[in-house]
């Protein structure tokens, strides 16, 4: 019995143009065979498993139908959220287990990059049936198949893509594919739903596509009115226009297209708006008027379905409305894909990504900035992987997540062997490249994060002490006295310190509060840089800390921009709804970027931006002798360009 060779379809770019054409030939044969009612036995004895972590009707049914038509059989878990995933099983474990039950997996998942994870952990081939807002390659195969049949070619078409371009995964896959066929792509985003940068950067880097943004007025004056103008009743405030490079001349042509070959309309991906979002009242509405202009006479209207109300029903009988044919193509195209995968799927060697993987020292890999990335949701076993971003210039250090393709813009870089950190600047680029090769690069969002991990600034100017041990002790005492005086209900108090010096201070505040109030409030620490910032008891008690209805005193050593406090509050709100939050800090150094004000301040010290305030505290409940090391110093950081001249 033939088995599927292990070869996955995660991105539409996993297929070469020749392979796509091969699949389309097969699809046409299968369509004819279905028409004739032939019985096929190509996949006899083989089992396909469909794992859908998100609702789907047509994709899942057309996959299952395709497999049955090929003589194979299907096992299905249509609603993974009610089954093993609800019990907390990871995606990796699920696909490993199901690999033993089936010969081919079809996976849909709400997180960006999930398909790549499934492909890496499954021992049988995986087909991506949609991962978050990233890609949906099999829908694109259906789209291209219909386009080719209607237009007779795929090269050099002009396609207008309208609607939600931000979250529409079908749109992203389609754009990657059309770019390979040298299409002109006109994007007409619904307000705020423009193509994400990472999609633009990918087609720019890999296909030398250039984005030119034109306002509607510019478009009008250049082209005498473009059909796309008819797409929305309330016109989008800007249009983006792609023009394919001429590969020979490599000169982008900035002309608006002469005639449109297709309109590709998508629905608003409400489920990805995260509860909020545009209400969609003025979303694209496409009706017969749009097809009346001469420029659009030959254009077909496409939609990945389901439609909400962006396509008028009056279009359905127009021969140019091909969306039901698109849907019908789902079965023969997926049959052709399965057959192609079964028959060896001999693939041309894929080019290695241009940029090498960035190696980090164990435990210091940064997290992906995309909250929906699969690495953020399955962090127990997944380590994010990054490559230098496509557009990596020397001035900005961008790292691109291998799973979701989003870019992490790096503020601070560190050198893991010398434990020094630097603000990134283009003079450091050469060093950073070397550190990447050596696996000694560390990256940080803030100075605080760098220092929490034991990194020191590369060079510091002369330092001066602004508080000594006695003054720190006095400030803690004064803060505690005020807290006690302000507290109407001492037993409702909870003290939470921000790791790590804020937590030490929190313990000291608790110590000082105990004799004043005749009650020692519970004390916990919150690590704001953890993936899942939980409250951890640090007062020896083991019961869970409840913040619901409690008066929380949040303690940190230095307040600067306020972002750390904001993160700490977000963490608190995950645990409940405090009756009040008071903020106590040892030092307020100004430079607030958020509307946050501490309630209790040990000392306010105006500082320049280039200065650092460093607090040193003896850990935990150490004796008075040890507290002698406590001090607060202020020093200035050397300008990055000065520092880099002397970098290792």
Partner 1 sequence: MTLTTPNHKATVAMDTEAIRRALARMAHEVCERNPGMMELVLIGVLRRGAVLAHRIAAILPSLGVAAPPVGTLDISSYRDDGKGRPGDPRILGRDIPFTLDGKPVLLVDDVLYTGRTVRAALSALTDLGRPTAVQLLVLIDRGERELPIRADYVGRNLSAPPGQRVYVKLSEIDGVDSVVISERKA
Binding site for partner 1 (CB under 8 A): 191-192, 237, 274-279, 369, 371, 554, 561, 565-566, 569-570, 573, 577, 579-583, 593-599
Q: Where do runs of H (alpha helix) occur along 54-181?
A: 58-69, 91-99, 114-121, 137-151, 169-180
Token duo for residue 575: 């645990």
Token duo for residue 27: 């699809």
Got the DSSP string for 309-377?
SSB-GGGGGSTTB-HHHHHHTHHHHHHHHHHHHHTT---PPPPPPSSPBPPB-TT-PPPPS-TTBHHHH
Token duo for residue 370: 């995309």
CB 550, min distance to partner 1, A? 12
Nearer to partner 1, 273 or 647 (CB): 273
CA separation for the pair 217, 224 (Å, rounded) = 10
Token duo for residue 639: 């300008």
CB 630, min distance to partner 1, A? 25
CB 249, min distance to partner 1, A? 33
Nearer to partner 1, 244 or 497 (CB): 497
CB 312, min distance to partner 1, A? 24
Nearer to partner 1, 236 or 521 (CB): 236
The 8-class DSSP code of residue 112 comes to: B
CB 636, min distance to partner 1, A? 22
Alpha-carbon dihedral sign for residues 458, 461, 464, 467: negative
CA separation for the pair 148, 318 (Å, rounded) = 19
CA separation for the pair 554, 583 (Å, rounded) = 5
Sheet containing strand 184-189, strands side by side: 210-214, 239-243, 184-189, 158-163, 262-265, 300-302
Nearer to partner 1, 14 or 197 (CB): 197
Nearer to partner 1, 222 or 391 (CB): 391
Altogether, the residues listed in the chain come to a count of: 648
Residue 226: burial class (beta carbons within 10 Å; 0-12, 13-18, 19+) = buried
CA separation for the pair 433, 15 (Å, rounded) = 31
Would you say 229 and 289 are in contact if contact means Cβ atoms under 8 Å apart? no
For the beta carbon of residue 349, count every other beta carbon within 10 angstroms.
Answer: 5
Would you say 184 and 295 are in contact if contact means Cβ atoms under 8 Å apart? no
Helix (H, G, I), strand (E, B) or coil at 159: strand
CB 278, min distance to partner 1, A? 5
Nearer to partner 1, 255 or 409 (CB): 409
CB 564, min distance to partner 1, A? 12
Phi, psi of 358 (to 5 degrees): -85, 125
Nearer to partner 1, 282 or 611 (CB): 282
CB 596, min distance to partner 1, A? 6
Nearer to partner 1, 472 or 553 (CB): 553
Q: What are the CA-CA distances from residue 29 to residues 70, 85, 417 (Å)? A: 13, 39, 61
CB 276, min distance to partner 1, A? 4
Would you say 634 and 612 are in contact if contact means Cβ atoms under 8 Å apart? yes
Alpha-carbon dihedral sign for residues 62, 63, 65, 66: positive
CB 168, min distance to partner 1, A? 16
CB 194, min distance to partner 1, A? 9
Helix (H) or strand (E) holding 603: strand 600-604
Nearer to partner 1, 457 or 598 (CB): 598
Token duo for residue 645: 């001249």
Nearer to partner 1, 45 or 549 (CB): 549
Nearer to partner 1, 276 or 306 (CB): 276
Nearer to partner 1, 275 or 319 (CB): 275
Q: Where does residue 467 fall: left (phi above 0), alpha (psi -120 to 50 degrees), or beta otherwise?
A: beta
- Look at strands 184-189 and 611-616 and give their pairing: unpaired
Nearer to partner 1, 90 or 561 (CB): 561
Nearer to partner 1, 180 or 575 (CB): 575
Contacts 24+ apart (CB under 8 A), 426-431: 426/393, 426/394, 426/395, 427/640, 427/641, 427/644, 427/645, 428/640, 428/644, 428/647, 429/394, 429/397, 431/644, 431/647, 431/648
CB 580, min distance to partner 1, A? 4
Nearer to partner 1, 275 or 454 (CB): 275
CB 277, min distance to partner 1, A? 6
CB 572, min distance to partner 1, A? 10
CB 124, min distance to partner 1, A? 37
């Amino acid at each position: 019995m033939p088995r599927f060779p292990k070869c996955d379809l995660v991105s539409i770019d996993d297929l070469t143009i020749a392979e796509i054409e091969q699949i389309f030939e097969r699809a046409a044969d299968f369509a004819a065979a279905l028409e004739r009612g032939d019985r096929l036995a190509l996949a006899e004895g083989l089992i396909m498993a469909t794992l859908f972590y998100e609702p789907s009707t047509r994709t899942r049914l057309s996959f299952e139908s395709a497999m049955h038509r090929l003589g194979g059989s299907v096992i299905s878990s249509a609603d993974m959220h009610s089954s093993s995933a609800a019990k907390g099983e990871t995606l990796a474990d699920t696909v490993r287990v199901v690999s033993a039950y089936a010969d081919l997996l079809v996976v849909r998942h709400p997180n960006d990059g999930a398909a790549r994870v499934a492909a890496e952990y499954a021992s049988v081939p995986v087909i991506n049936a949609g991962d978050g807002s990233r890609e949906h390659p099999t829908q694109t195969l259906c789209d291209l198949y219909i386009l080719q049949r209607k237009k007779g070619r795929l090269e050099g078409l002009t396609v207008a893509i309208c609607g939600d371009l931000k979250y529409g995964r079908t749109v992203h896959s389609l754009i990657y594919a059309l770019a390979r066929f040298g299409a002109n792509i006109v994007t007409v985003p619904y307000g705020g739903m423009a193509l994400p940068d990472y999609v633009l950067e990918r087609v720019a880097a890999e296909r030398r596509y250039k984005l030119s943004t034109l306002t509607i007025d510019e478009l009008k004056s250049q082209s005498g009115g473009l059909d796309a103008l008819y797409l929305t009743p309330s016109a989008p405030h800007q249009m983006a226009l792609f023009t394919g490079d001429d590969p020979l001349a490599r000169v982008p042509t900035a002309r608006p297209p002469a005639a449109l070959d297709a309109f590709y309309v998508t629905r608003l991906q409400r489920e990805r708006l995260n509860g909020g979002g545009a209400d969609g009242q003025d979303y694209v509405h496409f009706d017969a008027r749009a097809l009346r202009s001469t420029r659009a006479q030959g254009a077909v209207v496409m939609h990945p379905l389901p439609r909400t109300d962006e396509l008028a029903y009056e279009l359905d009988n127009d021969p140019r409305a091909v969306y039901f044919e698109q849907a019908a193509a789902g079965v023969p195209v997926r049959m052709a894909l399965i057959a192609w995968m079964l028959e060896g799927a001999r693939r041309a060697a894929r080019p290695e990504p241009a940029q090498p993987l960035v190696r980090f020292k164990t435990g210091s890999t940064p997290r992906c900035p995309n909250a929906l990335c699969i690495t953020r949701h399955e962090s127990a076993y997944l380590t994010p992987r990054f490559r230098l971003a496509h557009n990596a210039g020397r001035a900005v250090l961008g790292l691109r997540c291998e799973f979701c393709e989003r870019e992490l813009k790096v503020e601070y870089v560190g050198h893991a062997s010398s434990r020094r950190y630097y603000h990134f600047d283009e003079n450091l680029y050469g060093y950073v490249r070397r550190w990447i090769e050596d696996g000694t690069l560390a990256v940080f969002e803030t100075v605080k994060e760098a220092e929490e991990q034991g990194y020191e600034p590369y060079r510091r100017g002369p330092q001066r002490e602004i508080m000594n041990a006695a003054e720190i002790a006095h400030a803690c005492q004064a803060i505690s006295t005020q807290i006690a005086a302000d507290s109407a209900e001492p037993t409702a108090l909870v003290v939470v310190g921000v790791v790590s010096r804020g937590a030490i201070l929190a313990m000291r505040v608790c110590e000082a509060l105990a004799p004043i109030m005749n009650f020692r409030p519970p004390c916990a620490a919150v690590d704001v840089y953890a993936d899942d910032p939980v409250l951890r008891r640090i007062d020896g008690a083991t019961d869970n800390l409840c913040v619901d209805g409690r008066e929380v005193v949040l303690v940190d050593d230095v307040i600067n921009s306020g972002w750390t406090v904001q993160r700490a509050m977000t963490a608190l709100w995950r645990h409940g709804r405090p009756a009040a939050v008071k903020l106590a800090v040892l030092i307020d150094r100004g430079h607030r970027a958020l509307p946050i004000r501490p309630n209790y301040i040990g000392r306010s010290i105006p500082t320049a931006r280039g200065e650092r305030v460093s607090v040193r505290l003896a850990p935990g409940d150490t004796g008075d002798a040890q507290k002698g090391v406590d001090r607060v110093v202020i020093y200035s950081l050397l300008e990055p360009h000065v520092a880099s001249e002397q970098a290792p």
